[in-house]
Chain A
Amino acid sequence: MHPGGEWLRRVPRNPFQAGCVYVLSHGSNPAPGSQVDDKQLIGRIQAGDPAAERQFFETYADRIHRIVYRFVGDPEAAQDCVQETFIRAFDRLGTFRGESALGTWLGSIAVSVALNALRGRKRDEKRHAPWEAAEAVAAPSARVSEPDLKTRLHAEIDQLPEGYRMVFLLHDVEGYTHEEIGTMLGVQSGTSKAQLFRARARLRDRLADFAPEVSST
């Protein structure tokens, strides 16, 4: 399940690829219960059907937006990433061979786009880091209040190495399988599992102060 309220179930009906027919059990786009046949959809897009292009976008826009927003955490940057993802997808649709589900293929583009956006932002942040550090030194009183578990967790997720963070967000927050994550990140599913294990271990370690609260529910 995708925590945004979207259940994505694959129905092995299409010979193009096992599991390439999606049934969205609920969610806003497309309409509940609608089916999207990847192969037919791609064929229609390549034939120049504008409605198919729009359908492709409507089918996957929310999923892509969720992924990139989790990574970049900024509305404008996420919006840019969604646009870039679909533009690249339309450009490269002819290269899609059906080795993975269309949504996963699109997700791999989204991950790549979001990573580029993040790296660009990190470069910008590095340029400003000396000033921020100076401000922190100049105003230590701003740090007096103790953060709660939620604040600390989010800060610790921010501090995870890029690979850990991506796998953690895709698996534990967005609900993708290791196979899907492996395809999106271009790694083996075992690598995804290992990264997730380490991400969780690191978070537990860093949040040890909150152990009673964490295990209370």
Chain B
Amino acid sequence: MSEILVLVDHVDGTVRKTTNELLTLARRLGEPSAVYVGSGEAPVEALKKFGAEKIYVVDDAEIKGYLVAPKAELLQQLVEKTSAAAVLIPSSGEGKEIAGRLAIKIESGLITDAVDVEAGASGPVTTQSVFAGSWTVQAKVTKGTPVITVKPNSAAPEEAAGAGTVEEFAPTISDAAKAAQIVASQPRKATGRPELTEAAIVVSGGRGTGGDFEPVENLADALGAAVGASRAAVDSGWKPHTFQVGQTGKTVSPQLYVANGISGAIQHRAGMQTSKTIVAVNKDEEAPIFELVDFGVVGDLHSVLPALTDEVTKRKG
């Protein structure tokens, strides 16, 4: 069987859930080979656990100071070395940019933002959700080695022991790829809550919070959820942009999305419409968000949310 390269998403060696999802999908297509770009000890056990047969370890000393381009170069070299049958990359801002450059380099087709990947008769078949989630598209790559970026929460990670054979790989990085330098980097402050794009439950607040996110956050904590925000809430300075859900923020696809004081503009829907279950609290019964919901409460979030939080805490015992 052919190798399927999976670019490992990790924070300082801690593998993120998206990687386990990608390894799970890769197993449908061939033999998963994890590509770990980092420093220090590679997380071999974590990658083996989800089926990595091979682990290419790339020391990032020469790479981490630069934006995107070196990673595209090293993946190109790995594709050529392994004759991989496909490359799976997490669908983050950085991941998509790496994928775009890689596709040009290896003269191969590219599919971004897949929400599912299956083996087809002639290579992988992907599913994408487009036009703010109102259409579903099935596509495949017709030239070269398919480069596919996959959104978080696209598959339930399944454990399967892989051989996890470690192979050091030393790429040659060109000077041209080092032209955009990372001059400074401020790691995101840990919120203590689940990562927005990975969370099973997301509780969001909009303009309707009036700037008081406490009821939203308390509910999120009672449910073990991530906190999100509409652009109106972000533009008002109530939450940093990293919390924004929507077209120009994060796309989330959790089991449960709770929209509070959010009207449901098309740009917001674009980021949450594929959530499995949607509920909303809004004092305006005409709010468009109610067209999407499985359950909606017409009411003031400042009274509904605290009461709901109490109820959740009570039931959870």
Bound pair (A, B)? no
Mark A residues whose CB is within 8 Å of B. none
